[in-house]
């Protein structure tokens, strides 16, 4: 049953793991922690995590489990829908101590997953892998376990996608450590999204035309994806689309106006408070 699991992890979890690795003690070569999320129909969605202090030597491993329990209890008070789904570790492989740590998480949840994030950048990239532990052995004999790889993908909510796109823009913001990129205004975001959508539609039309002309070999998977995309678009004429778009833009402008008014009122209130205090 555990082999049928699939892991979907959110970018914020990866950022937290990297941050914990950067903040590690000077004598620590590996960082571990707890994965939080939920499980539904064989899909393990990891939406949060926290670091668990530990010490590793060649012969043994020690983890502050009481600290892990306290942090989990505090997190449940804020996010009651997040449960323990496994644990994470930095590095590109499963170590000899991984089975010992996994035994603890097997007591906390059913079929815990183990996620590794390669902080050593083997192969020039930060590899991401997920494992489950499968029991091995003969009846009434010595039992063992084996870590087996399972599929893992990165999934995003809409706000996370916007944050990732903003982070991506820092790559071309100039050299040095000061790569400040400010979020675009709402209308500028609409304009940028419209331009990107136009470019993507041109690429799709060019591909379809090349397939019809026999210049490109057709791909059934791409054809099915395009068919699903077309069926997902509501049927409307140009007038209906313009009316819907203008209505949404008006709503956006109203929200922007109200937010600016609130911001101005708060600034005036702050200045009046300072004057009265003087």
Tens digits of residue pLDDT in 212-265: 998 888 888 888 988 888 888 777 788 887 888 888 888 878 888 898 899 899
What is the pLDDT, as a whole number, of residue 50?
Answer: 92
What is the predicted pLDDT for the residue at 3?
64
Q: What pLDDT, on the 0 to 100 scale, is given for residue 35? A: 94
The pLDDT tens digits of the residues spanning 125-169 come to: 788 999 998 877 666 666 667 888 899 998 887 777 777 777 777
The Cα-based distances of 178 to 15, 164, 173, 174, 201 in angstroms read 19, 18, 9, 8, 35
Average pLDDT over residues 255-277: 86
Q: pLDDT at residue 201 above 60?
A: yes
User: What is the distance between the alpha carbons of residues 79 and 37, in angstroms, rounded to a whole number?
Assistant: 10
User: Looking at residue 227, what is its pLDDT?
Assistant: 87
**β-strand partners of 115:** 88, 130
CA-to-CA distance for 32 and 89, rounded, in angstroms?
Answer: 4
CB atoms within 10 A of CB 253: 12
Question: Which ranges in the chain are annotated with CATH 3.40.140.10?
Answer: 2-154
CA distance 276 to 278: 5
Average pLDDT, the chain: 83
**Rounded-to-integer distance, Cα 29 and Cα 219, Å:** 46
Q: What's the average model confidence in pLDDT over 100-107? A: 88
State the pLDDT at residue 8.
93
At residue 147, the pLDDT reads 86
Query: Quick one: average pLDDT of 177-200?
Result: 74
Fold of 2-154: Cytidine Deaminase; domain 2 (3.40.140)
Mean pLDDT of 61-67: 85
Residue 177 confidence class, pLDDT cut points 50, 70, 90: low
Q: By CB neighbour count within 10 A (0-12 exposed, 13-18 middle, 19+ buried), where does 13 fall?
A: buried
**pLDDT of 173 strictly over 60:** no
**Dist. CA 93–CA 116, nearest whole Å:** 7
- Whether the model clears a pTM of 0.75, i.e. scores above it, the answer is no
pLDDT for position 141: 62
């Amino acid at each position: 049953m555990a082999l049928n699991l699939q892991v979907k992890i959110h970018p914020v979890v990866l950022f937290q793991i990297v941050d914990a690795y950067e903040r590690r003690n000077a004598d620590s070569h590996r960082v571990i922690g707890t994965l939080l999320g939920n499980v539904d129909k064989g899909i393990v969605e990891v939406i949060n995590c926290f670091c668990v202090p530990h010490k590793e030597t060649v012969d043994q491993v020690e983890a502050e489990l009481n600290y892990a329990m306290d942090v989990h209890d505090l997190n449940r008070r804020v996010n009651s829908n997040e449960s323990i789904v496994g644990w994470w570790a930095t590095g590109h492989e499963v170590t000899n101590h991984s089975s010992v740590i996994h035994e603890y998480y097997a007591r906390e949840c059913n079929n815990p997953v183990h996620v590794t994030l390669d902080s050593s950048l083997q192969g020039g990239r930060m590899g991401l892998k997920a494992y489950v532990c499968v029991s091995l052995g003969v009846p009434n004999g010595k039992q063992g376990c084996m870590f087996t790889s399972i599929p893992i993908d990165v999934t995003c909510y809409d706000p996370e996608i916007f944050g990732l796109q903003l982070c991506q823009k820092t790559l071309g913001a100039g050299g040095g450590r000061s790569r400040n990129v400010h979020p675009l205004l709402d209308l500028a975001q609409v304009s940028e999204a419209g331009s990107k959508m136009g470019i993507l539609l041109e690429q799709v039309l060019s591909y379809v035309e090349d397939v019809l002309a026999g210049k490109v070999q057709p791909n059934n998977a791409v054809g099915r994806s395009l068919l699903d995309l077309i069926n997902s678009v509501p049927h409307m004429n140009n007038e209906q689309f313009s009316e819907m778009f203008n209505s949404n833009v008006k709503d956006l402008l109203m929200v922007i106006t109200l937010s600016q008014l609130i911001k101005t009122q708060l600034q005036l209130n702050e200045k009046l408070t300072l004057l009265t205090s003087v």
